[in-house]
Amino acid sequence: MLTDLRHLLRLFAIGRCFARHDALFLLKDAPIGTALSRRALGLFQTLFGRRQPNLRDGERLAAALADLGPSFIKLGQVLSVRPDLVGAAIAEDLGRLRDKLPPFPWPAAKQAIETELGAPLESLFAAFEDAPVAAASVAQVHFAQTRDGLPVAVKILRPGVEAAFARDLALFAWLAEAAERHLAGMARLRPRDVVAALHDWVAIELDLRLEAAAASELRDNFTDDADVIVPAIDWQRTARRVMTVHRISGIAIEDREALIAAGIDVKVLADRVIRVFLKQALRDGYFHADMHHGNLFVASDGRLELVDFGIMGRLDLKTRRFMAEMLGAFLTGNWRRAAEVHFEAGYVPADRSVDAFAQACRSIGEPILDRPVAEISVGRLLAQLFQITETFGMQTQTHLLLLQKTMVTVEGVARSLDPEINFWNAARPVIEAWAREHMGPEAYLKETAGSLVDFARKLPQVARDLEALAETTRAEGLQLSPASIAALAETQALANARRRRPLLWALWAVALLLALALFV
């Protein structure tokens, strides 16, 4: 009860911030609450709200999240890959949510470096710039030079950021669980998975050793590549709260005029942006999932330089084949095949109609099929496809939404360099090379042979396990596992929670009245 009350009071403070930014629109039509709670919401808006008529809904929501601090900025970034939850327009605005805050003091940064690396700053670096070159909600970055003359960038976590995230993540988990329990249709949207994804992102960003490992893996994938540079990690000067990387010296990709002045062909560069992304997603199944303008630079030879590896995505071979086949089916107008690959991947329940889903695919694809290929946005095609999934009971696939969000971002970067870019011409060499290796008859035969070998290796253990199971059953009978018992208990708890729902709304009302007494 005390935990619930603490979360409710925290929600009150959050609600005040949303009201100030005119961002309470998300709750106006939400299917929650009682007449009392809706009247309380109206009173809340009257007391603390102000209109922002010149801003879009997504812009107001992004401003409120930025005002609430690190956890909410990250939440906004997670929601930017969930148009099924917030709508495509709001998701697009949240995708532009940038993480910039005033820097924290130099003495705190110096202390963190010395504590984490276990040595005085002077013994680690020959020079260190006190003023940061970038400051965000989680960390800030300083330029420095090592004792052997290597220019580096040093990323340092903000003091107290772990405690702030822990508090807010507990609140998000509480809200997600309540939503899935009490709101019809929310289970399909998997809000607890949203919080889990946020938790995973934060876990990497709050342990800079993990981000360093992500950068190192990506760098290994692009060894001697002609298109991209991933800075090397200085592992001797990297710890949980400090990460040191070799400094890049390229031009920010958003500075188009500077790129042209430096002799960079922006049309070639736009093609390169798309190729680099597809090499990551298709070839390697491991991609930088935050490739916005602020994280991309261009070296003097035209290669892309990537920074900030806190958000990464993975795609297994099955998912990559699904994406390749599905996009190919849409481009050729094969709506039946576009539907079939969804069923083969298990994304749409088997009891739904393939023909009906093919018709839904046609409704998305026909309007764009006759348009010039250069005008077809792959990211937007995927976004529209995911929007029809509710009709067919398809559960949200978080990894695909992250891919879609990144694809939209990459397309936006490429088109800012070359508005006439043809995504498919840029992508074709990578897609064709990957398809030859992974989707031809030889590839399937090789994979099948490998699966049979793996199965043969496991057969002896399977036989031993079955024999042990039979012996246990004969001796002790069939018993429920702890997981089954827990599932039954959860079912009973859900029934009890539904009976207590009127009490829950009464608690909300008491908390709001108490908060009004304290803050008004």
Of 495, 112, 69, 81, the C-alpha closest to 311 is 81
pLDDT above 50 (res 507): no
pLDDT confidence of residue 519: 44
Q: Which residue has the higher pLDDT, 194 or 418?
A: 418
Cα 43 to its chain centre, rounded Å, is 35
* DSSP letter assigned to residue 284: I
Whole-number percent of the chain with pLDDT over 90: 31
Query: Which DSSP string do the residues of 79-146 spell out, in sequence order?
Result: HTT-HHHH-HHHHHHHHT-----PPPPHHHHHHHHHHHHTS-HHHHEEEE-SS-SEE-SSEEEEEEEE
Residue pair 57/25 in contact by the 8 Å Cβ criterion:
yes
Question: What pTM value is reported for the model?
Answer: 0.74
Residue 112 phi/psi, 5-degree rounding, is -60, -45
| 271-297 confidence digits (pLDDT tens) | 999 999 999 998 999 999 989 888 999
Cβ neighbour number for residue 72 with a 10 Å cutoff: 20
Angle subtended at Cα 295 by Cα 414 and Cα 218, rounded to the nearest 5 degrees: 95
User: What mean pLDDT comes out for the span 439-445?
Assistant: 58
| 190-212 confidence digits (pLDDT tens) | 778 778 877 887 888 899 999 99
User: What mean pLDDT comes out for the span 44-51?
Assistant: 68
User: What mean pLDDT comes out for the span 464-472?
Assistant: 70
Cα 227 to its chain centre, rounded Å, is 25
Q: Pull the structure tokens for residue 98.
A: 């940038």
168 CB-near residues (< 8 Å, 6+ apart)? 69, 70, 71, 72
Q: Pull the structure tokens for residue 77.
A: 């970034």
pLDDT confidence of residue 228: 95
Residues in the chain: 520
Q: How far is CA 24 from CA 14, 49, 84, 461, in A?
A: 10, 9, 19, 57
pLDDT confidence of residue 513: 47
311 CB-near residues (< 8 Å, 6+ apart)? 77, 201, 204, 288, 289, 290
pLDDT confidence of residue 168: 87
Kindly state the helix (H) or strand (E) to which residue 331 belongs, with its residue range.
helix 317-332
Q: Pull the structure tokens for residue 111.
A: 């202390």
User: What mean pLDDT comes out for the span 466-494?
Assistant: 62
pLDDT confidence of residue 514: 47
| Residues 396, 385: Cα–Cα separation, whole Å | 12
Residue pair 196/176 in contact by the 8 Å Cβ criterion:
no
| Residues 404, 407: Cα–Cα separation, whole Å | 5
Cα 41 to its chain centre, rounded Å, is 30
Q: Pull the structure tokens for residue 76.
A: 């906004």
Q: Which residue has the higher pLDDT, 216 or 294?
A: 216
Q: How far is CA 97 from CA 23, 155, 384, 492, in A?
A: 15, 21, 22, 41
| Residues 70, 68: Cα–Cα separation, whole Å | 7
Catalytically active residues are 290
* β-pair type (296-298, 286-288): unpaired
Residue pair 155/139 in contact by the 8 Å Cβ criterion:
yes
333 CB-near residues (< 8 Å, 6+ apart)? 365, 366, 369
| 232-274 confidence digits (pLDDT tens) | 999 999 999 999 999 998 999 999 999 999 999 999 999 999 9
User: What mean pLDDT comes out for the span 108-123?
Assistant: 96
| 304-348 confidence digits (pLDDT tens) | 999 999 889 899 988 888 888 887 787 778 899 989 998 888 888
pLDDT above 90 (res 117): yes
pLDDT above 80 (res 382): no
pLDDT above 60 (res 488): no
pLDDT above 50 (res 89): yes
pLDDT confidence of residue 515: 47
Q: Is the dihedral of CA 489, 492, 496, 498 positive or negative?
A: positive
| Residues 212, 116: Cα–Cα separation, whole Å | 15
pLDDT above 70 (res 482): no
Whole-number percent of the chain with pLDDT over 70: 71
